[in-house]
């Protein structure tokens, strides 16, 4: 199973697809730091660090020794902030161009499957015109479209993170179905509880402001920690930003589970959101982390018990990146790459659902 990954970022979705059995032959990412991180972790993938508009996919696959017919999957998600009202199919509008470049890649390569992912609210974006256009265009290209809103916490990630997932199947008769949830409310799913934030990170040592630590606090305490650590002996990217006197005072006054509303008036800015300067809850998955998860004034990202925001390693753990995954660039750039990523876990469970369709018995069923 061979895939082409577009808008690949630091490689979270690709990592998951690789775990599901795919080989990522070609990946495109325009941001240099993101592309470098991708290259460091996906050594066999041909990475194109350029504007997608410049890519001739047939030619680039040829350079990798492949033909279009070799490609099983085209995957990716154009940045949602780039969409305008796409129902008019105004491909010249620069706000629409990335959306239509994704569709151009599908048209040129004609893979067996398409995997499109985007923000939770994508279906309602621009009164549903973006989603409607995506389905219409893929259907006209010969794909049966299946979509779902997936929360990564329902599949074992220690973070509530909802994404719109659409899978297009070129063979309408293949019995594709999305994976069932594996974690959550036993009454709803009949399965185990979700993984909590501290279950994901409590093997990492305490940090004071400005500190960094290169060793683990203890042996893995659960299977998630063991999987994240693998054979790693040296802890990397576990660092806390340094703070001035005022920020240190603010952090010291936030109670467990508290937020800006618990601070004295003198320490509050004139305008603020209610979930800023907020401590994470230790016994449940974290809320969706953002690019600013290392900044206390961002949405809830202060450590449940320590006087700091999350470290880069803690953010990577909550996204499901293993501890040996390398990120290139400054701390700000690394946090941006992590916060913008698709969790590898989502790529893995959806990738396995696609792979099931390709089993010989399902191929025969489709023919019948």
Tens of pLDDT, residue by residue, the chain (368 residues):
999 999 999 999 999 999 999 999 999 999 999 999 999 999 999 999 999 999 999 999 999 888 988 999 999 998 876 666 665 565 566 667 888 899 999 999 999 999 999 999 889 888 888 899 999 999 999 999 999 999 999 999 999 999 999 999 998 777 788 998 888 765 555 557 899 999 999 999 999 999 999 999 999 999 999 999 999 999 999 999 999 999 999 999 999 999 999 999 999 888 888 888 999 999 999 999 999 999 999 889 999 999 999 999 999 999 999 999 999 999 999 999 999 999 999 999 999 999 998 876 665 444 44
| pLDDT at res. 213 | 96
| pLDDT at res. 94 | 67
Comparing C-alpha atoms, which of 163, 113, 159, 194 is closest to residue 342? Answer: 163
| pLDDT at res. 85 | 62
3-state helix, strand, coil in the chain (%, to 5): 40, 15, 45
Sequence-ordered list of residues with C-beta below 8 angstroms from that of 241, at least 6 positions apart, any chain: 209, 210, 294, 295, 308, 309, 331
| pLDDT at res. 128 | 87
| pLDDT at res. 174 | 75
Q: Which residues pair with 28 in a beta bridge?
A: 48
| pLDDT at res. 197 | 97
Spell out the domains of the chain, with CATH numbers in brackets: 2-186+343-367 (3.40.50.150)
Sign for the CA dihedral angle at 338, 342, 344, 346 comes to positive
Residue 145 is among the residues annotated as catalytic for this protein? no
| pLDDT at res. 186 | 59
- Triad 74, 78, 79: Cα angle to 5°: 155
**Residue 241 half-sphere exposure, CB side, CA atoms within 13 Å?**
22
Q: Which residues pair with 146 in a beta bridge?
A: 167
Choice among 50, 80, 169, 218 that is catalytic: 80
CA distances to 27, 28, 120, 182, 298 from 24, in Å = 7, 11, 25, 26, 34
Question: Phi and psi for 347 in degrees, rounded to 5?
Answer: -60, -40
């Amino acid at each position: 199973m061979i895939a082409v990954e577009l808008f690949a970022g630091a490689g979270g979705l690709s990592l998951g697809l690789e775990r599901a059995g795919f080989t990522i032959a070609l990946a495109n990412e325009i941001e240099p730091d993101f592309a470098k991180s991708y290259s460091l972790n996906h050594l066999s993938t041909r990475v194109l660090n350029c504007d997608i508009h410049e890519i001739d996919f047939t030619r680039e696959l040829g350079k990798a020794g492949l033909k279009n017919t070799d490609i099983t999957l085209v995957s990716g998600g154009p940045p949602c902030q780039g969409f305008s009202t796409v129902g008019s199919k105004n491909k010249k509008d620069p706000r629409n161009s990335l959306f239509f470049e994704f569709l151009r890649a599908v048209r040129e390569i004609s893979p067996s499957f398409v995997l499109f992912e985007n923000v939770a609210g994508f279906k309602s974006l621009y009164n549903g015109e973006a989603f409607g256009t995506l389905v219409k265009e893929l259907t006209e290209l010969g794909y049966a479209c299946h979509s779902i809103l997936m929360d990564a916490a329902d599949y074992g990630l220690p973070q509530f993170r909802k994404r719109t997932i659409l899978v297009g199947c070129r063979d309408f008769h293949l019995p594709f179905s999305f994976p069932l949830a594996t974690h959550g409310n036993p009454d709803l799913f009949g399965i185990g509880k979700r993984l909590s934030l501290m279950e994901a990170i409590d093997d990492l040592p305490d940090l004071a402001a400005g500190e960094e630590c290169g060793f683990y606090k203890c042996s893995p305490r659960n299977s998630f920690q063991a999987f994240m650590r693998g054979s790693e002996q040296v802890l990397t990217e576990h660092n806390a930003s340094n703070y001035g006197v005022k920020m240190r005072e603010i952090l010291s006054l936030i109670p467990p589970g508290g937020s800006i509303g618990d601070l004295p008036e003198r320490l509050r800015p004139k305008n603020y959101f209610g979930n800023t300067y907020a401590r994470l809850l230790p016994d449940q998955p974290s809320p969706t982390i953002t690019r600013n998860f290392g900044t206390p004034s961002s949405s809830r990202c202060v450590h449940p018990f320590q006087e700091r925001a999350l470290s880069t390693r803690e953010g990577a753990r909550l996204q499901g990146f293993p501890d040996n995954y390398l990120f290139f660039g400054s701390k700000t750039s690394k946090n941006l790459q992590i916060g913008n990523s698709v969790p590898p876990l989502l790529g893995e469970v959806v990738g396995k659902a696609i792979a099931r369709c390709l089993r010989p018995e399902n191929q025969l069923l489709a023919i019948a």
